[in-house]
């Protein structure tokens, strides 16, 4: 019986609407918090103590572009994409369909746009990683700068986890190819 309850819980969590909730509760806040921490540091004018001026300015610009892309994408997910998915799943459940397949699907242009926006985010992460020497912290760097670079590494990890969940679990269930 416990196994059946666990299976039900897993199925609900891995359903499209369950994944939307998981992403909004776990990934969006965590990523936004990391972005705010890094922004606070970069805007505090403590930046540049450990790097040359051109690098520090470029890192600042690339990060601010990354944070902006993430904010806009999360707004689209939480305000448009996820509510549409959840509404469609709810309507499908209300029709009491016996099959377990999800009738919800996103049109390929929507999925392509999502993938393109995520690719912009990945490209900015790669640029930051390059500018920061693969996050290799130098012993002579100021402690605050070391903390900031570490937070950037953690942010990168969280973003890749979020993109992986969407790309391998959520959106494949919603593609028209999945239903044909």
Percent of the chain with pLDDT over 90: 54
Query: Does 108 fall in a domain?
Result: yes
Per-residue pLDDT reduced to its tens digit, 82-114 = 998 888 877 767 676 555 555 556 677 888 899
The overall longest dimension of the chain from CA atoms, in Å, is 64
- Structural domain range at position 170: 25-179
Query: Does 92 fall in a domain?
Result: yes
Per-residue pLDDT reduced to its tens digit, 117-168 = 999 999 999 999 999 999 999 888 888 889 999 999 999 999 999 999 999 9
Structure tokens, 154: 């953690």
Query: Does 2 fall in a domain?
Result: no
- The span from the CA of 39 to the CA of 151, in Å, is 11
- The span from the CA of 8 to the CA of 93, in Å, is 15
């Amino acid at each position: 019986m416990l196994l059946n309850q666990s299976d039900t819980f897993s199925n609900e969590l891995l359903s499209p609407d369950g994944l939307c909730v998981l992403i909004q509760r776990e990934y969006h806040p965590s990523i936004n918090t990391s972005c705010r921490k890094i922004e606070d540091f970069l805007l505090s004018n403590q930046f540049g103590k450990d790097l040359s001026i051109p690098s520090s300015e470029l890192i600042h610009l690339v990060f601010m572009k990354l944070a902006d892309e993430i904010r806009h994408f999360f707004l689209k997910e939480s305000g448009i994409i996820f509510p549409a998915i959840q509404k469609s799943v709810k309507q499908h459940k209300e029709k009491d369909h016996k099959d377990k397949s999800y009738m919800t699907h996103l049109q390929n242009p929507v999925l392509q746009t999502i993938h393109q926006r995520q690719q912009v985010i990945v490209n900015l992460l790669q640029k930051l990683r390059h500018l920061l020497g693969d996050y290799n912290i130098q012993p002579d760097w100021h402690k605050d700068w070391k903390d900031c670079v570490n937070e950037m590494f953690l942010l990168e990890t969280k973003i890749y986890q979020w993109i992986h969940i969407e790309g391998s679990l959520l959106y494949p269930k919603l593609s028209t190819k999945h239903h044909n």
